[in-house]
Structure 1
Amino acid sequence: MPGLYSLLSYNREWLRYDLVAGVVVFAVLIPSNLAYGELAGFNPVIGLYAGFVAMLVYALFTQSKQIIIGPESTTAILLATTVAPLALGDYTRYTYLAATLALIIGIICIVAGRLRLGFVSDFFSKPILTGYITGTSIVVIISQLGKMFGLSISSVEITDKFMEVLSEIDHTHILTFEIGIVILIILLLMRRFTPGLPAPLIVVIGSIIVSTIYNLQSYGIKVVGEIETGLPSFQIPMITLSDLQILVPAAIAISVILFTDGTLTGRVFSRKHHYRLDSSKELIAFGAANICTGLFQGFTVGASQTKTAVNDGSRNKSQLSGLIAAGLVVVFLLFFTSVLRNLPLVALGAIVIVAGYSLIDIDEFRSIYHTRRSEFVLSILTLVGVLAFGLIQGVALAVGFSLLEFIKRIYRPHTSILGICEGVDGFHAVSSDGEQFFFPGLLIYRFDAPLFFANAAFFVSDINQAIERSEEPVTYLLLDATAILDFDSTAADAFREMYLDLKEQGITIGIAGANGVLLDMLERAGLDEMIGKTHMFPTIRTGLISFAEKYLQEM
């Protein structure tokens, strides 16, 4: 429990910073957790249940001093799309299924953490996460359109929701729509001109005051209504084996997504504040938080980028800020839930829409496009996949394309002919017009990938083509092997055949920069004796000197 260990050695000078941060985080999470609880298909107060239980447990298990965990738009949408089709409109069954999903996710995370599987998050590249977050944000925005127009939307799938909104648009409740637009404008203006103020909290307070004074409910404006005072009770959800079989695959996918998102968020702040974050230990922290929220009437939780940014912006110093925020939620649940009775649902919808909008980063897409076009296509495919097929299916599709892109890179890796550029130290890729030869007959070839069964044939073919394109007859091929970090039996056979073929043509092979693994593999395959120790060089420069000495002797 790294968080508990950190608190036991707490520096009292940090208290005033953590206290301020905890109060600010509390002010932000009350409206947002209510909104995400409602977005997930629950009574809004369930969002507060999930939030404070998760924060209490996570603060004790995490190494991160900044991350605030709780309900988020991603977790809410993933939950709704996974569980709602199974519940068939039964709210009690829905709560049991949601709690069970959180329990399963928690168990998966803890087991994965104990097995040191934190590295899995490294397989979700920046383009995938960018497309995923943008797709999720659009899904979140669409999911709130019903509240904005004052419509009762019954569809579960996001495309069905959108089409239902379009078909019912002529039944829009005009006053609800007008209030929603005003709230959206206020939130966006405050986000633009007063980013330091807790806009969602101000909007919630203002909406409650206006709703109470003018009795908006009497005009057809839907409000939160009565919220039960008190804390969640401990309960073990009861479901069937068939439900479990359906939930487990979804739980695995959601675990990877939530953990990856949380780990990347944690890495950003750990680098900023110069401390180490163990991904596998973070898995255990995420798991513990989800298990406990599942046992106390909550639902799946993940790292909140918004609340984490607020926590860090308030200059918090430790996990205590999260504990303080959770403690304030407990006080609120015990004594002050009645103040939310007249809160219009359209206000919560507007808060969620602005939160979703804030996560859409066009500049990130532009940066990816300029860096690598294929990765930009991957991010767009993820975005389209999330919208067309669903969150989990969209990410699975994107990971599949990402793996294909990776395979393509090592199947047809970058290769080059090396030479010396005037005025530049070292060896660099040069054109294949004969200028790369230091001495007549020398060809320096670089292969930028592990050499194995999938690219061995390409390796041989590309070398033969380089030799054929040479204006000078090649008598010595020097292979720059610094990037060949692996070597299998198929590659050994291909290399042996190439060696014998080039030997018949009067071409000698030398190897420069081979690492210990490659040298060991060459020895096991018997290629080191075939090539000869005198043709194995630590660097390209030593190989060049050896060839030059021989060349000068022959002159």
Structure 2
Amino acid sequence: MTVPGATGALGRWVPGVQVVSTYRRGWLPKDLVAGLVLSTLLVPQGMAYAELAGLPPITGLYTTVLGLLGYALFGASRILVVGPDSSLGPMIAAVLIPIVGSGGDPVVAMGLASMLALLVGLTMTVAGIAKLGFVADLLSKPTQIGYMNGLALTILVGQLPKLCGFSVDGTGLIDELSGFLGGLAAGDVVPAALGVGLFTLAVIVALQRWLPKVPAVLVAVVGAIAATWLLDLGERGVKLVGPLPEGLPPFTLPHATWSQLALLLVGAVGITVVSLTDTVSTASSFAARTGQEVRADQEMKGVGAANIAASFFQGFPVSTSGSRTAVAEQSGARTQVTGVMGAAVILVMLVLTPGLLRDLPQPALGAVVIAASLSLADVPGTLGLWRRRHTEFSVSIAAFLGVAVFGVLPGIGIAVGLSVLNVFRRVWWPYQTVLGRARGVPGYHDVHSYPDAERLPGLVMYRFDAPLIFANARVFRDQIRRLARTEPAPRWIVLAAEPVTDVDTTAADMLEALDRELDARGVSLVLAELKDPVRRKIDRYGLTGPLDPAHFFPTLDDAVAAYRTRTGADWAAPVPSPGRDDSGE
């Protein structure tokens, strides 16, 4: 007998329990069918992404199974699909290659990959418990686009040798491109390999574009295997996947030396940031379609559990997949039973038909990865940034170059750094303007938008669109000084302070010194629309004294009325001032 209260409490921590307790019998046929359809995509992609990470193809299947089961138990989304991901593959390789070397012992690589998955899982889980979902915001949209474009190019170039039937020894985009071009010049291309690779890629791209409901990857892989049988490609120099190990994934304890652990931990942090961003954005987009609420912290725990589960069965780090989730949704998935069904199909294949994919050509796996890389690139989004805002386009290109030139892991660091710097730049150099009264429009408005706006002689209304802190205190001070030096000299400079959400101690000291400087020039600094929390800080700093208490007004209208009463000034059309820049930019 199930106790409802106990189930509800446990369900908040382990959402899979709640799914089971509320499951409807009518959902089962749809979940089972969706799971069968999904498995046709999971198998070839799992194998391909394992090789992208520099690991044996079988580890991709192990990782897929345990990732699906771990997330089904602890994940919050009803249909989100977790598993090996094309965006993580190059990052995993970038962590492992410096430790084991290119072409190193696969057993050692598998052990380190499992430890990497464990570290990622623990990091994600701790982040979820600590409610650190906001970390996903460290990658802005422009930097995400640039990072993904760089990643797509890196993946594409890295898979070109496999598509052509040979391999290169390189650890970055430039090295791999140089090695690929060298292989072409040396005549290393295997015609049969290139033919089956291009055939597979063409089938995937064509079906995804013109028949999106057809499982393109499955059709292409089946076609590649058929070509191997019909044309005897193995005898023509085409490398095949070969027989996979038979049976269930073995339980293994992840291990690494202390020196290896330090390198793995750095990589785990970068992978966690990317996985977290993918998870939150993918979960949000699919939840919006069904009216569900996104529980970002629980999603992190779910993906963390998926990584931890995979780490004990020779798996590697996993993330959510928008493409596989879309397939599940289109196939009628209702709950995570779809993922459990997909995992069960893979397990049955490993136990009963392990030789099913032995004749799959390696160039076909390369084509699967290349097709995935093409979906990562967002050229229209990049062009849109150029049309909409050149600054953010530049940030996107810088993130792209960071990945392309310095590598995947440094690239994610550069992308995060650029996002943070872009935020800081907006606080450092915020928009500033002078306000006036526009005829027929209530209130006071930007004179750049309303160049004919009227102004009161001797009064300047100035707006500063940012919190006033140490980073922009000098910018604010210099602009106030410029306004005070204009001719005819103003008597009042009124700060429209509604956008000023904070004043720190550095800015407070600046305000006190600036007020004394202006007083010496016969100019009064007046504050209007100051928020109550900010006013309380100013009082606590002891500024309400050095700053004349009579120069604080609740609204701009009150400040204007007080100035007109005191001076008798009336509104007048603006007088052009050559070379004057009211915005301060």
When the two structures are superposed, what TM-score results if normalisation uses the length of structure 1?
A: 0.94
- Which residue of structure 2 aligns with residue 161 of structure 1? 176
- Which residue of structure 1 aligns with residue 579 of structure 2? none
- Which residue of structure 1 aligns with residue 52 of structure 2? 39
| CA distance 1:545–1:13, shift in 2 (3 Å) | farther
Give the Cα separation in 2 of the matches to 1:554 and 1:120: 52
1:505 to 2:521 alignment: yes
Which SS does the other structure have where 2:485 is aligned?
helix
1:212 to 2:229 alignment: yes
1:99 to 2:121 alignment: no
Shift of 1:309: 2.0
Contact conserved, 2:244 with 2:358, CA < 8 A, in 1?
yes
Give the Cα separation in 1 of the matches to 2:370 and 2:316: 21
Shift of 1:533: 4.6
Shift of 1:134: 1.2
Contact conserved, 1:434 with 1:470, CA < 8 A, in 2?
no
- Which residue of structure 1 aligns with residue 389 of structure 2? 372
Q: 2:68 aligns with which of 42, 55, 59?
A: 55
- Which residue of structure 2 aligns with residue 475 of structure 1? 491
| CA distance 1:455–1:43, shift in 2 (3 Å) | closer
Give the Cα separation in 1 of the matches to 2:371 and 2:399: 22
Deviates more, 1:223-232 or 1:307-316: 307-316
Shift of 1:431: 4.8
Shift of 1:261: 2.0
1:198 to 2:215 alignment: yes
Which SS does the other structure have where 2:88 is aligned?
helix
Shift of 1:434: 9.7
Deviates more, 1:243-252 or 1:521-530: 521-530
Give the Cα separation in 2 of the matches to 1:372 and 1:439: 35
One-letter amino acid matched to 1:346: P
Q: Deviations over 1:289-338 (max 9, x none)?
A: 11110101111111112102222333433322222222222222222222
| CA distance 1:222–1:435, shift in 2 (3 Å) | closer
One-letter amino acid matched to 1:14: W
Contact conserved, 2:456 with 2:570, CA < 8 A, in 1?
no
One-letter amino acid matched to 1:349: G
Give the Cα separation in 1 of the matches to 2:85 and 2:108: 22
Give the Cα separation in 2 of the matches to 1:290 and 1:157: 26
One-letter amino acid matched to 1:319: Q
Deviates more, 1:449-458 or 1:125-134: 449-458
One-letter amino acid matched to 2:84: P
Give the Cα separation in 1 of the matches to 2:459 and 2:449: 13
Q: Deviations over 1:428-465 (max 9, x none)?
A: 11059996554322211101111122222221220121
- Which residue of structure 1 aligns with residue 84 of structure 2? 71
Q: Deviations over 1:109-132 (max 9, x none)?
A: 122222222211111111111111
Give the Cα separation in 1 of the matches to 2:520 and 2:237: 91
Contact conserved, 2:100 with 2:109, CA < 8 A, in 1?
yes
Q: Deviations over 1:267-303 (max 9, x none)?
A: 2222332222232222222211111101011111111
Contact conserved, 1:211 with 1:342, CA < 8 A, in 2?
yes
Shift of 1:530: 4.2
Q: 1:457 aligns with which of 453, 470, 474?
A: 474
Q: 1:422 aligns with which of 411, 434, 439?
A: 439
Contact conserved, 2:95 with 2:263, CA < 8 A, in 1?
no
* Length, aligned pairs only: 554
What percentage of residue pairs aligned between the two structures are identical? Answer: 34
Which SS does the other structure have where 1:445 is aligned?
strand
One-letter amino acid matched to 1:268: S
- Which residue of structure 1 aligns with residue 127 of structure 2? 112
Give the Cα separation in 2 of the matches to 1:475 and 1:437: 17
Shift of 1:193: 1.1
One-letter amino acid matched to 2:195: E
Give the Cα separation in 2 of the matches to 1:433 and 1:305: 45
**Equivalent residue runs for 1:159-198 within 5 Å:** 159-169=174-184, 170-198=187-215
Contact conserved, 2:168 with 2:179, CA < 8 A, in 1?
yes
Contact conserved, 1:68 with 1:307, CA < 8 A, in 2?
yes
Contact conserved, 1:96 with 1:237, CA < 8 A, in 2?
yes
Give the Cα separation in 1 of the matches to 2:108 and 2:99: 9
The unaligned stretches of length 5 or more in structure 2 are: 1-13, 572-585
Which SS does the other structure have where 1:284 is aligned?
helix
1:301 to 2:330 alignment: no
Which SS does the other structure have where 1:73 is aligned?
coil
| CA distance 1:469–1:4, shift in 2 (3 Å) | farther
Shift of 1:551: 4.4
Which SS does the other structure have where 1:152 is aligned?
coil
- Which residue of structure 1 aligns with residue 150 of structure 2? 135
Contact conserved, 2:144 with 2:415, CA < 8 A, in 1?
no
- Which residue of structure 2 aligns with residue 517 of structure 1? 533
- Which residue of structure 1 aligns with residue 578 of structure 2? none
1:272 to 2:289 alignment: yes
Give the Cα separation in 2 of the matches to 1:60 and 1:193: 36
Q: 2:244 aligns with which of 218, 227, 232?
A: 227
Shift of 1:198: 0.5
| CA distance 1:553–1:175, shift in 2 (3 Å) | closer
When the two structures are superposed, what TM-score results if normalisation uses the length of structure 2?
A: 0.89
Which SS does the other structure have where 1:42 is aligned?
coil
Shift of 1:101: 0.8
Q: CA RMSD in A?
A: 2.3
Which SS does the other structure have where 1:509 is aligned?
strand
- Which residue of structure 2 aligns with residue 343 of structure 1? 360
| CA distance 1:72–1:438, shift in 2 (3 Å) | same
Give the Cα separation in 2 of the matches to 1:257 and 1:375: 20
Q: Deviations over 1:142-200 (max 9, x none)?
A: 12112211113343444322222211221211121122222222222212211111011
Contact conserved, 1:128 with 1:395, CA < 8 A, in 2?
no
1:535 to 2:548 alignment: no
The unaligned stretches of length 5 or more in structure 1 are: none
